[in-house]
């Protein structure tokens, strides 16, 4: 299943009063928007991110938005206009589209995965949290000059009230209907409301109080407090964990007729390909093992066994994304990867930059953080005789200090 994500980041954040768009404000040394982009790409579920940004950003976008898997479009006057612009740029192959606010920096991979699964099944889903305060209904009137002039009309049953968050996920056809309704002039605070008005059912999945939206100066203070609390918790356990983990990976596949040769997600012209249950991308497999091993999380066969039919013909780049998301849930991210491909034929030198870029996109790092080397085995053993291709890989992880 192909999943795209839209981030609505075209606003100015005037309520925050910071003098710059709020998505550019830093949290823990990273712009708020980068937190959201990184979380989506590292989730293991999202294949591309389309970001609606202020139009002037397009000429010289921030460096963290110039990366594999990220596309930029100009935002609109309203949130729903920005989403509509981004929807037009979403890959035609996408089955499910997520929409996320740039100002929700703490979204988790679990929330992303649950929203995608629910939308795939039901058409639309949002993450939400139950209301914890008593809810009073006080409809406004033209005569309301101040808050003091308002009165309570009734008290709503708290157990029936949920506070919507993002991500919100939609099957492509459902979001198409919602966007079309917005373009016909229907005003809405989010796409879920447009989907409801278009006649679709929207499911709720569990959100988190931690998944706050930074809208006011007080919200920014709370976000910084969350980061400081995480940092203190990490420091408390640092006596036994310096924060850096190294893992190694190895894989070998036989070369056979009738298969495409895929390494690092790159299809390489050759008369034979690698045998395997998935697409048999030995480079991705070795890197996946290195990433999982660094986090003490086993190997690729443990998480994506060849006895499970769902992985038959699977993209190994996608499996690597999933592994990166899993170690992310453990509190780690990949710093860099070094891999060596051992093959007598074909000559892989011309394809090394593309292979490194493919790995970098799956891992969520800059291409400069990935090294791919190509060696022969001087005629020795199966790789040297041209019967197989082997790959050795090393990955460095660091604990995320929030």
pLDDT tens column, 109-164 = 888 989 999 999 999 999 999 988 899 988 876 555 565 677 888 999 988 999 99
Q: Report, as an integer, the average pLDDT of 233-254.
A: 74
What pLDDT, on a 0 to 100 scale, did the predictor assign at position 238?
A: 47
In this structure, are residues 172 and 180 in contact, taking their beta carbons and an 8 Å threshold?
no
Listed residues 236, 252, 279: the one ending a domain: 236
What pLDDT, on a 0 to 100 scale, did the predictor assign at position 246?
A: 95
Same domain, 12 and 40: yes
The answer to whether residue 343 is domain-embedded is yes
Residue 134 DSSP class: P
The answer to whether residue 144 is domain-embedded is no
In this structure, are residues 337 and 301 in contact, taking their beta carbons and an 8 Å threshold?
no
What pLDDT, on a 0 to 100 scale, did the predictor assign at position 235?
A: 52
Give 232's pLDDT tier (boundaries 50, 70, 90): low
pLDDT digits (tens, 9 = 90+) for 75-92: 888 889 999 999 999 999
CATH (domain of 190): 3.90.550.10
The answer to whether residue 151 is domain-embedded is no
Listed residues 189, 215, 236: the one ending a domain: 236
pLDDT digits (tens, 9 = 90+) for 210-222: 899 988 888 888 8
Same domain, 248 and 208: no
The answer to whether residue 299 is domain-embedded is yes
The answer to whether residue 145 is domain-embedded is no
In Å, how far from its chain's centre is CA 160?
Answer: 31
> How far apart, in whole angstroms, are the C-alpha atoms of residue 147 and residue 103?
27
Same domain, 49 and 92: yes
What pLDDT, on a 0 to 100 scale, did the predictor assign at position 236?
A: 52
For residue 311, give every residue at least 6 positions away whose Cβ sits within 8 Å of its Cβ, in sequence order, or none: 277, 278, 304, 305, 319
Same domain, 112 and 224: yes
Q: What are phi and psi of 129, to 5 degrees?
A: -125, 145
Same domain, 228 and 283: no
Q: Report, as an integer, the average pLDDT of 49-62.
A: 92
Same domain, 107 and 223: yes
In this structure, are residues 127 and 207 in contact, taking their beta carbons and an 8 Å threshold?
yes
The answer to whether residue 143 is domain-embedded is no
What pLDDT, on a 0 to 100 scale, did the predictor assign at position 364?
A: 86
Give 19's pLDDT tier (boundaries 50, 70, 90): low
Number of domains in the chain: 2
The fraction of the chain above a pLDDT of 70, given in percent, is: 91
Listed residues 212, 236, 260: the one ending a domain: 236
Residue 87, CB-side half-sphere exposure with 13 Å CA sphere: 27
Same domain, 254 and 231: no
Q: How many C-beta atoms lie closer than 10 Å to residue 158's C-beta? A: 12
> Of the candidates 325, 323, 335, which has an alpha carbon nearest to the alpha carbon of residue 244?
335
The answer to whether residue 148 is domain-embedded is no
In this structure, are residues 36 and 105 in contact, taking their beta carbons and an 8 Å threshold?
yes
What pLDDT, on a 0 to 100 scale, did the predictor assign at position 144?
A: 53
For residue 225, give every residue at least 6 positions away whose Cβ sits within 8 Å of its Cβ, in sequence order, or none: none
Same domain, 191 and 165: yes
Q: Is the pLDDT of residue 48 over 50?
A: yes
Q: What are phi and psi of 123, to 5 degrees?
A: 110, -40
Q: Report, as an integer, the average pLDDT of 225-242.
A: 61
- For residue 278, give the 3-state DSSP assignment: coil
Give 99's pLDDT tier (boundaries 50, 70, 90): very high
User: Helix 352-363 and helix 316-329: axis angle, to 10°?
Assistant: 40
The answer to whether residue 149 is domain-embedded is no
In this structure, are residues 74 and 55 in contact, taking their beta carbons and an 8 Å threshold?
yes
Same domain, 303 and 190: no
What pLDDT, on a 0 to 100 scale, did the predictor assign at position 240?
A: 47
Same domain, 350 and 292: yes
> How far apart, in whole angstroms, are the C-alpha atoms of residue 250 and residue 339?
9
Same domain, 218 and 255: no
The residues facing 127 across adjacent strands are 205
Q: Which uninterrupted H or E stretch holds 133?
A: none
Q: Report, as an integer, the average pLDDT of 388-398.
A: 95
DSSP code per residue over 233-270: HHHHTTTT--SEEEEEEEEEEEEETTS-EEETTEEE--
Tokens at 214, concatenated: 């930074």
Same domain, 358 and 312: yes
Mean pLDDT of the chain: 88
Give 239's pLDDT tier (boundaries 50, 70, 90): very low
**Which of 17-26, 76-85, 382-391 shows the lowest mean pLDDT across its residues?**
17-26
The residues facing 100 across adjacent strands are 7
CATH (domain of 393): 3.30.1330.50
Q: Domain limits at 120?
A: 3-133+159-236
Give 249's pLDDT tier (boundaries 50, 70, 90): very high
What pLDDT, on a 0 to 100 scale, did the predictor assign at position 50?
A: 96
What pLDDT, on a 0 to 100 scale, did the predictor assign at position 16?
A: 54
């Amino acid at each position: 299943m192909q999943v795209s994500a839209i981030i609505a980041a075209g606003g100015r954040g005037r309520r925050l009063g910071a003098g710059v768009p709020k998505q550019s404000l830093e949290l823990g040394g990273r712009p708020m928007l980068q937190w959201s982009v990184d979380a989506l790409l590292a989730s293991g579920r999202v294949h591309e991110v389309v970001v609606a940004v202020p139009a002037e950003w397009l000429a010289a976008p921030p460096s963290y938005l110039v990366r594999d898997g990220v596309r930029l479009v100009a935002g609109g006057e309203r949130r729903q206009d920005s989403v509509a612009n981004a929807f037009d740029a979403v890959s035609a192959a996408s089955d499910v589209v997520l929409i996320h606010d740039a100002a929700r920096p703490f979204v988790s991979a679990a929330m992303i995965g649950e929203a995608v699964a629910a939308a795939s099944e039901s058409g639309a889903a949002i993450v939400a949290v139950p209301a914890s305060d008593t809810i009073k209904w006080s409809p406004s009137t033209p005569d309301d000059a101040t808050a003091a002039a308002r009165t309570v009309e009734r008290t709503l049953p708290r157990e029936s009230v949920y506070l919507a968050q993002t991500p919100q996920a939609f099957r492509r056809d459902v979001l198409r209907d919602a966007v079309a309704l917005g373009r016909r002039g229907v005003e809405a605070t989010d796409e879920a409301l447009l989907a409801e008005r278009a006649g679709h059912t929207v499911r709720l999945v569990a959100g988190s109080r931690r998944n706050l939206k930074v809208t006011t100066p007080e919200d920014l203070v709370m976000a910084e407090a969350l980061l400081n609390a995480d940092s203190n918790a990490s420091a408390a356990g640092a006596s036994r964990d310096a924060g850096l983990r190294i893992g190694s990976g190895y894989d070998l596949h036989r070369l056979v007729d009738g298969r495409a040769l895929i390494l690092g997600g790159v299809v390489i012209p050759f008369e034979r390909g690698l045998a395997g249950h998935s697409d048999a991308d030995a480079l991705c497999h070795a890197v996946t093992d290195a990433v999982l091993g660094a986090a003490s999380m086993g190997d690729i066969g443990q998480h994506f066994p060849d006895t499970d039919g769902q992985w038959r013909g699977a993209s190994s780049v996608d499996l690597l994304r999933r592994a990166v998301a899993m170690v992310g849930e453990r509190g780690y991210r990949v710093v860099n990867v070094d891999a060596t491909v051992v093959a007598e034929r074909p000559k892989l030198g011309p394809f090394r930059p593309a292979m490194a870029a493919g790995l970098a996109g799956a891992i969520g790092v800059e291409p400069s953080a990935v090294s791919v080397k190509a060696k022969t085995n001087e005629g020795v053993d199966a790789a040297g005789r041209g019967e197989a291709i082997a790959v050795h890989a090393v990955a460095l992880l660091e604990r995320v200090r929030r």
